[in-house]
Structure 1
């Protein structure tokens, strides 16, 4: 059950709770990308996962990869000269009502913006059981979008993408127009409910939304994540609903990547859609109890939550 993920990743600077950057003296630093972090979670849960990327050969680029290695993720990086591109950054401020959290994107002119298919070991992709990337890669440049499409088309296994839409990178209209050209080889689409509503310009219940997206773009699988409300899935005409596991929330930053990684791990292991969604919801719940966008999920904890839910039915 091998998973090859490719894409860009950022370093996330985050203030302590209640602080703004203009007065902060201390910040946390973590790797923050769905393609990298979902692959790391899938690997922690038992998949043979590898992440492919093109990064600037700088202390910041090496810092991002070092954290992924701490989680046991194998990486294959095309290291670019610092003059050819930089390391992307994000800046996060938490916020309690009535103040909203704030996420600032600084992702322009990264090394991945100048990527081409030849920068990646295509053989790894052609041998994988599943290949995964994100829509945010296509936002970096026309070259990055074309590379994402070429690599997806070369993959014989399950081809998956996370919508990964961030208004600070591009508009919903531009994202829709660009990604629509990449959707043809994609079989499985992940998206948060808010991102899907914005990019696809659709309204309705989550059940209606996943069905509409799957029908309009001929996806065999759609997984719509709903934060504290769980997830809704679609597979070959059948709808699947998974409630969230109730946990105290310390930090929600890693819950989406955790769910995506767990679902990918389960599907490549031959699990049903219901089993995959249950494991995804359990991983997301555990992620909410830990700080940062890449929490150290333990397989035994996921299995315990899933077993407890099954036993309570």
Structure 2
């Protein structure tokens, strides 16, 4: 298989140990993570040629970040350097009825000050077989949105499939533009669109009738989302497939998890997983996207299999600490076959 390129921001993640609150802890665990980088790590884990493109400052923290990506098999040949700092996010992991909290400290990060022309997308994407971005990137700044559009338009011109995760983050859109103003031009260039039960509504005003995300009680009717898929395809006719992740939230530690894929003719529904003891759900959507890209490339004539791989991969991610989904293809395939017993592998 060929090269997959992802573009976006990677950050230093500082998390409280276990389930401690910010006010309780005297230490924070440092790792790295970010939507598009998480996808690249998943794909590299599955043995694919994955490259992550971003803008980083020239300092020791950024150097440690790049080494971390290399450790996971991700290529970084086209990272550009400049700016003063790497963005940071702080994580407090919730439990039962107490939700997790994320606090961003990413103002004036290196990538937020990126400008069109800083990345030679023709060079980056020549020979690539896939380009992926998320709605987090254009939310960072106008410059990041403009550079993301450059990449999408270059990929379109070169005939490279483009995927996006709508990934709406209300706390990020602070530079004077709304997601509804910026996202349409970018999504119009996408062949594969992924979202969750909120993204399509928050960004485009598209929602399933009678659905309340705050009252799922762990039950999400997959068929309700066919209308969301058809509306997205009508608005963005380039899209060949629309995928919706379905999370039923019973509490912070217990979710149901599944997804649907619509190809314009048929709605495919995944098995539903009952995740009773979540270790870390941050990066769950990214792990789904990484699994989906792998599935669509590996099973090009079998959308059901591709969807099932994505859902199983992201189910396993909920058991792994950190942003990255550090699982193998074999582990995902075993879960797809029904081996979720957790017995010791000897």
TM-score over 0.5 for the alignment?
yes
Partner of residue 175 from structure 1, selected from 172, 179, 185: 179
1-structure distance, mates of 2:307, 2:31: 26
Which residue pairs with 1:43 in the alignment? 44
Q: Give the TM-score taking structure 1 as reference length.
A: 0.90
SS at match of 1:119: coil
Which residue is equivalent to 2:284?
255
Q: Which one of 252, 268, 282 corresponds to residue 312 of structure 2?
A: 282
**Aligned counterparts of 1:52 and 1:70: Cα–Cα separation in 2:** 16
Higher relative contact order (CA 8 A, sep 6+): 1
Residues of 2 paired with 1:85 and 1:44: CA distance? 31
Question: Is the counterpart of residue 96 in structure 1 residue 95 in structure 2?
Answer: yes
Matching of residue 188 in structure 1 with residue 192 in structure 2:
yes
Is the CA contact (8 Å cut-off) linking 1:78 and 1:120 kept in structure 2? no
Please identify, of 36-45 and 261-270, the stretch whose mean Cα deviation from structure 2 is larger. 261-270
What is residue 116 of structure 1 aligned with on the other side? 116
Answer with 196-205 or 249-258: which moved more.
196-205
- Kindly indicate whether the alpha-carbon contact (under 8 Å) linking 2:200 and 2:207 is maintained by their aligned counterparts in 1: no
Partner of 1:216: 235
Q: Given the alignment of the two structures, is residue 300 of structure 1 paired with residue 339 of structure 2, yes or no?
A: no
Secondary structure of the 1:57 match is coil
2:271 matched residue in structure 1: 243
Cα distance change, pair 18–305 in 1 and its aligned pair in 2 (3 A) = closer
1:207 alignment counterpart: 226
SS of match in other structure, 2:187:
coil
What secondary structure does 1:230 align onto?
A: strand
After superposition, residues 151-166 of structure 1 pair within 5 angstroms as 151-155=151-155, 156-166=159-169
Give the superposition deviation at 1:64.
Answer: 2.2
Distance 1:128 1:162 in 2: 19
SS at 1:129's partner residue?
Answer: strand
Instruction: Please provide the CA RMSD for this pair.
Output: 2.1
| Residue 109 (structure 1) shift | 1.3
Q: Which residues of structure 1 form unaligned runs of 5+?
A: none
**Partner SS, residue 261 of structure 1:** helix
Name the count of aligned residue pairs. 307
Q: Distance in 1 between matches of 2:105 and 2:265?
A: 39
| C-alpha distance after superposition, 1:179-202 (max 9, x if no partner) | 112122111111222233322223
Partner Cα separation in structure 1 for residue 266 and residue 34 of structure 2:
30
Which consecutive aligned stretches of 4+ in structure 1 deviate over 4 angstroms post-superposition? none
Q: Within 1, Cα distance between the matches of 2:117 and 2:330?
A: 38
Normalised by the size of structure 2, how large is the TM-score? Answer: 0.82
Looking at structure 2, the residues matched to 179 and 289 of structure 1 have their Cα atoms a distance apart, in angstroms, of: 32
Asked if structure 1 preserves the Cα contact closer than 8 Å seen for 2:162 and 2:190, the reply is yes
Between structures 1 and 2, the one with greater helix share: 1
Cα distance in 2 for partners of 1:199, 1:173 equals 12
Deviation, 1:38, is 0.6
- The answer to whether the Cα contact below 8 Å between 2:140 and 2:173 also exists between their aligned partners in 1 is no
State the distance in 1 between where 2:117 and 2:297 align.
24
CA distances 1:133-174 after superposition (whole Å, capped 9, x unpaired): 112111222222111111111112211111122122117981
1-structure distance, mates of 2:177, 2:240 = 24
Over 3 Å counting, the alpha-carbon distance change for 1:179 and 1:18 in structure 2 is: same
Give 1:46 shift: 2.3
Unpaired segments ≥5 residues, structure 2: 209-223, 248-255, 340-346
